[in-house]
Amino acid sequence: MKKSLYLTSSGTLSRDQNTLLLELETGEKRYFPIEQIGDIHCFGEASLNKRLLEYLTQQGVPVHFYNYYEYYVGSYYPREHNSSGFLTLKQAEHYLDESKRLDLARRFVRGALQNLQQVLRYYAHREKPVHPMIEGIAQVEAQLDDAASVETLMQLEGQAREMYYSALDPVLQNPDFAFESRSRRPPANRLNALISFGNSLMYTLALSEIYRTHLDPRIGFLHATNYRRFSLNLDVAEVFKPVLVDRTVLTLVGLRQIQPEHFGEELGGVYLNDEGRKRFLQAWEERLQTTFQHRRLKRNVSYRTAVRLELFKIEKHLIGEKPYEPFRAYW
Amino acid sequence: MNPSDPITGTHIHYFLVCPRKCWLSLHRLEQETGSDLVELGKLTHERTFTRQQLREVDVDGFLRIDFTSEGIVHEVKHGQSEEHAHRMQLAYYLYQLRLRGVQTHGVLHYPNQRRKERVELTPELEAELQQVLQQVEALRQQPLPPQVPRPMRICRSCAYEEFCWSENEEVGQ
């Protein structure tokens, strides 16, 4: 299985014959076999040239860039190697047809809400006082069918998320990682910093997997297409954020693998420092490589693969073969 | 779907292995990336018969012949489990070449098994090919891909497996 390459230190990335070479500022050289790399995430300062980009295109490897504050900056998304005009038209049709778009958007939100509840149920089993929040999200879920517009769906999703976030303090019971309220750009406290960072990783994960399918990442259904930015990856991310991002964050904090010393404060915001970021990335990659038994394929698949399978289900929805049922964690 | 896209040798091959795979390929929904077997097949192509000068011969943009030598068409395959489909793929090349005034025969190569097989476009093979061509054309017109009720043995080694069986349901809950 292909892996992500996370570059946290600064250096020069280049093609050296038929392999990828990273030269660190210390002069140390590291080689990475390109066949094993699915995508690259640059956090440090990276120098690279066109020859490398050509190589990455040939190998179909996207690169995602993040700035000093761990915000997503943008991606090098190589030329499509895998496109199907037939599917692209179907995708556009599902965006342009109001009822088809609403149907798909509702499916994404339903998947998201079900997984939010599942995460809380996990903590309910551990005797955390989160039953009222589960109830609340279930009530929002019951309203999804009546939502007549994508905007309403977005609002309902926002409401459910708020209830969910109100469960974080009772779950963690850790004053060093109090949630208070959701804040981004900049995140006002440690927990928010972790969630923001995790969400960025989730968005790029979905984007990298979209690259390996026939879908066009610019045409989203829940998140409005604005013709310039990627949005389908945001839709898919909603379904997986609870299971991948939030569980990673809660586990890291719960097991005290991330501590207050792993953060720094800058420009009125709180950010992970180098050590904190490394710890998060390691936990994230472990989570993505965690496998579960897939009932249909009758073999173990990783969460990363689950994201790709999700995209195939969306493709089948678009070509009219099978209505999309979002990924649902039963554990 | 582009209705004017010509049927390729690969489509003939796929049809005889799994019509669903053929439909998906006709609609350009290929699943070529990430499958180890596909990668191995590519390596077989790249690393065998390298001294042949006429490799990857392209006829009219849709017949991609592995290599030709002394007027004979050669097709290289990685594994021999889909032998008849391979034979028909080659028969299709011979048929298309004959339409262009070239009368020849072909050879199927299984370099990994150190085996080869001569293929002639006999009247029987041609009749079968005509039937398959009609079926592929009819398949192309279908609005939806044909269903496979449950995973087959060959799905295990198919690059389309994850696409076809991505739903995680049915058994239990």
The helix or strand, by DSSP H or E, that contains position B51, with its residue range, turns out to be none
ipTM score: 0.82
| Cβ–Cβ below 8 Å for B170 and A295 | yes
Query: With contact defined as beta carbons under 8 Å apart, do A271 and A189 qualify?
Result: no
Instruction: Return all residues near A57 (Cβ < 8 A) that are at least 6 apart.
Output: A78, A79
CB contact under 8 A, B171 and A83: no
> How far does B146 lie from chain A, in Å, by closest CA?
9
Distance from CA of A263 to the nearest CA of B (A): 38
Q: Which bin fits B90, alpha (ψ -120 to 50), beta or left (φ > 0)?
A: alpha
According to the model, what pLDDT value does residue B173 have? 32
Q: What percent of chain B has pLDDT over 90?
A: 32
Judged against a pLDDT cut of 80, whether residue A330 lies above it is answered with no
Provide the whole-model pTM: 0.88
Q: Do B27 and A319 touch (CB under 8 A)?
A: yes
B131 vs B48 pLDDT, higher one = B131
- Predicted local confidence at residue B2, as pLDDT: 53
The 10 Å Cβ neighbour count of residue B33 is 15
In what helix (H) or strand (E) does residue A291 lie, and over which residues does it extend?
Answer: strand A291-294
Chains A and B: how many Cβ contacts under 8 Å? Answer: 75
Average pLDDT over residues A32-42: 90
Cis ω for the linkage preceding A187 (within 30 of 0): no
Give the confidence band of A247 by pLDDT, cuts at 50, 70, 90. very high
Query: How much is the CA Rg of chain A, to the nearest whole Å?
Result: 20
Residue B4 confidence class, pLDDT cut points 50, 70, 90? low
Q: For the segment A173-223, what is each residue's pLDDT rounded down to a tens digit?
A: 888 877 887 888 888 888 899 999 999 999 999 999 999 899 999 899 988
Mean pLDDT rounded to a whole number for chain A: 89
List own/partner pairs for B29-36 with CB under 8 A and 24 or more apart.
B29/A84, B29/A86, B29/A87, B29/A214, B29/A315, B29/A319, B29/B163, B30/A82, B30/A84, B31/B159, B31/B160, B31/B162, B31/B163, B32/A82, B32/B159, B33/A60, B33/A81, B33/A82, B33/A212, B34/A2, B34/A212, B34/B159, B35/B158, B35/B159
